Structures are given as structure tokens and as C-alpha cells.
Amino acid sequence: MIEIQNLTKDFGAIKAVDDLSLIVPEGITCGFLGPNGAGKTTTIKILTNLISATGGKAFLHGVDAIAHPKEALSHVGAVVETPEFYPYLTPVETLAYLGRIRGMHHDEIKSRSNEVLGEVKLEQWRTTRIGKFSKGMKQRLAIAQALLHEPDILILDEPTTGLDPRGMVEVREIIRNLKRQNYTIFMSSHLLVEVQEVCDKAALIDHGKLLVYDSMDNLKKLTKLGKIEVTVLGQVQDAFLNIVRELKNVRAVERINGSIFIVTLEGQSNEMAELLSAIQGMGAKVASFSQVGLPLELMYMDLVKESR
Ligand SMILES: Nc1ncnc2c1ncn2[C@@H]1O[C@H](COP(=O)(O)OP(=O)(O)OP(=O)(O)O)[C@@H](O)[C@H]1O
Ligand SMILES: [Mg+2]
């Protein structure tokens, strides 16, 4: 379990983390979402003892991470910022070196190295120099080193940032596999789709403050706004769109071309059905009617906008 209590970090006048409280229950994968500069890395650096907090507390498995970082972090694996490895070493050599620093036994390092390199699908490259690795492979190695000492909490700062689409998919797949093994995972991201794909819960922050924290399911239910793309046969007139704009639950109408327009609608399936029959009732022949964009994305943008 990860417990953050009223955590604060000031950099001069900037409140990078502002009275943040959050509990990640055991075995849960929690996304830590926020735009650039929201305070994600700062929070993660405090949790992993890379910087100190101005105020507040953090507990990892009930151990005070600020007062007793060594003990608190003994069951934590972390990847913070883009990790650098010695280019002339191989993954096996790198893990041996890191394992020794962590006080692991030779035999343990050897068996764990094989396991963790398998976990991140680098077993074929175990004796290749890291200098030859792609960014995605280096990131997978970073996850492997985080797993080496058999932690049960994983803290990952933007694990897919800077990777190409294939690299992103591979890293997300690895995280999903770890999630199935019941690790408690706290991962920051500025990509909502990624959090939706991988996480059970999500915390949204901006300006160091928590905006919302809930299960992905509840967050999806909370989303009220949807965008619907409507295609009609023939041309739609401006007068027609003006009437649509005045319909119940409609927030905005945007013309795409002569026969396609997008309606921003407050509501879900019932409201969508009502909108469809209203448009048909006005004599339009609807060729297609479908939701575009993720409602959650819109809510995220709304929340971030409101907090600014
Ligand atoms: N060492 C520092 N000195 C001064 N200000 C800092 C320092 N580190 C971070 N900040 C500021 O604190 C705020 C939060 O930064 P942080 O790096 O935690 O954001 P982030 O959510 O990780 O953003 P990103 O998505 O860009 O990684 C920003 O305004 C940043 O400029
Ligand atoms: Mg960051």
C-alpha cells in the first residue's frame, strides 16, 4: 500500500506539490495523471527519497518513507526519469552490478536476472552491449532493474514517454503482466488512454493539487459530456443546425462539412437516443450517428481547464 498524506513541496514560490493526499491499496495499479508541470515527478521523487518534502508524510507498506527511506524502499522498485546505463555493459552485467549495490547475493542475482529479463522480454539480448539498445529496450531494462530485488510496489515515472508506438505498446504489455502478478503499481503519465488501458484507478493532478481520484469505472460513469458525429443524407442548412443547438442537453454544435456535424451532448445513452430521434423528427435522414473521442478525455480537459 502507498499512502500519501498532505504532501507539499515548494520550490521557492512554486508549489510543485500542494497538500496532496492519496492512498493506493495493495495490488492496485494506479495512474497518476496530469499535464506537464503538474507535480507528478516531484511527488514520485519524494516517494523514492530523491528529494525531500516541504511538508506532509508518505508511507510505503506502512513504513514512513521520509523518516525511514531505506526500510520503506526495500520493497519498492522504481523507474524515475529516463535511466542511463553504461553503454559498454550488457544487461546481465548491469543487473549484477546493481544487485551487488543492493546487497543481493551472487546466486540470487543470477537467478533473478534471468527472471526479470524474461519478464521484460530481453532474454535474447542478455549479453548484448546496451550501447546497441533502442530507447524502448533501455526502458524495459530499467523496469527489469526495478524488479531485481523482488519488490512488491512499483513506482514508474512516465514509463512510455519518448518511446515510439511499438515501444509504448511493449512497455504497457509488460506493466499489464506485472499487474496480473499483483504488484501495487503507481505510474505517472500524461496520457489518459494509457492510464485507461493499464490502470484500475486514476488520480488527476494539476498545480500539485489532486483534482479527482477514483476507480476507472467510476471515472467513466462521472463523465457527462460526449461528442457525437452526425452524418445526414444531403446538405444541412445553418437554420437546421441552429435548431439542433437549442435542443435539450446540447452544449454545442460544430459543422464539419455540408452533411456532417458534431454535437457536444451532456448525457449518456438515453440522451443520445433522444438526440437521434429529435434530429430525425426534424426531417433529416441520418446516415450515421456515433460517439467520437473518449468522454473521459473531455472530462480530463475540463478538470484541468477549471483548475487553471
Ligand atoms: N528542482 C526544481 N527547481 C525548481 N522548480 C522545480 C524543480 N523541479 C520541478 N520544479 C517545478 O515544479 C513543478 C512540478 O514539476 P514536475 O516535474 O513535478 O511536473 P511533472 O508533472 O512531472 O511534469 P512533466 O509532465 O513535464 O514531467 C513545475 O512547475 C516545475 O517547473
Ligand atoms: Mg515529470
In angstroms, what is the span from residue 161 Cα to ligand 2's centroid? 10
Per cent of the chain over pLDDT 70 is 95
Do 99 and 112 contact (CB within 8 A), yes or no?
A: yes
| Ligand 1 atom index nearest CA of 9 | 12
pLDDT tens string 144-200: 999 999 999 999 999 999 899 999 999 999 999 999 999 999 999 988 889 988 999
In this structure, the residues whose C-beta lies within 6 A of any atom of ligand 1 are 11, 14, 16, 34, 36-42, 190
| Ligand 1 atom index nearest CA of 41 | 22
Q: Is 42 exposed, middle or buried (0-12, 13-18, 19+ CB in 10 A)?
A: buried
224-307 CATH pick, 2.30.110.10, 3.90.600.10, 3.30.70.100, 3.30.565.10: 3.30.70.100
Q: Any idea where the domains of the chain sit in the sequence? A: 2-221, 224-307
pLDDT for 302 beyond 90 = no
Atom 17 of ligand 1: nearest residue by CA position: 41
Q: Name the β-bridge partners of 57.
A: 5
Atom 13 of ligand 1: nearest residue by CA position: 16
Judged by DSSP in three states, 78 sits in: strand
pLDDT for 293 beyond 90 = no
CA distances from 101 to 83, 98, 110, 152 (A): 16, 5, 14, 19
Which ligand has the minimum distance to the alpha carbon of residue 81? 2
Please tell me the distance from the alpha carbon of residue 215 to that of residue 235, in angstroms, as a whole number.
43
- 228: which 3 cell numbers? 457525437
To test the pocket of ligand 1, the residue of 4, 17, 41, 211 to mutate (highest count of ligand atoms within 8 Å of its CB) is 41
CA distances from 84 to 68, 89, 131 (A): 27, 12, 10
In angstroms, what is the span from residue 246 Cα to ligand 1's centroid? 43
The DSSP secondary-structure symbol of 27 reads: T
Residue 182 backbone zone (phi > 0: left; psi -120 to 50: alpha; other: beta): left
Assigned CATH for 2-221: 3.40.50.300
Q: What is the pLDDT of residue 218?
A: 82
Closest among 146, 201, 193 to 174, alpha carbons compared? 146
Please tell me the distance from the alpha carbon of residue 229 to that of residue 56, in angstroms, as a whole number.
47
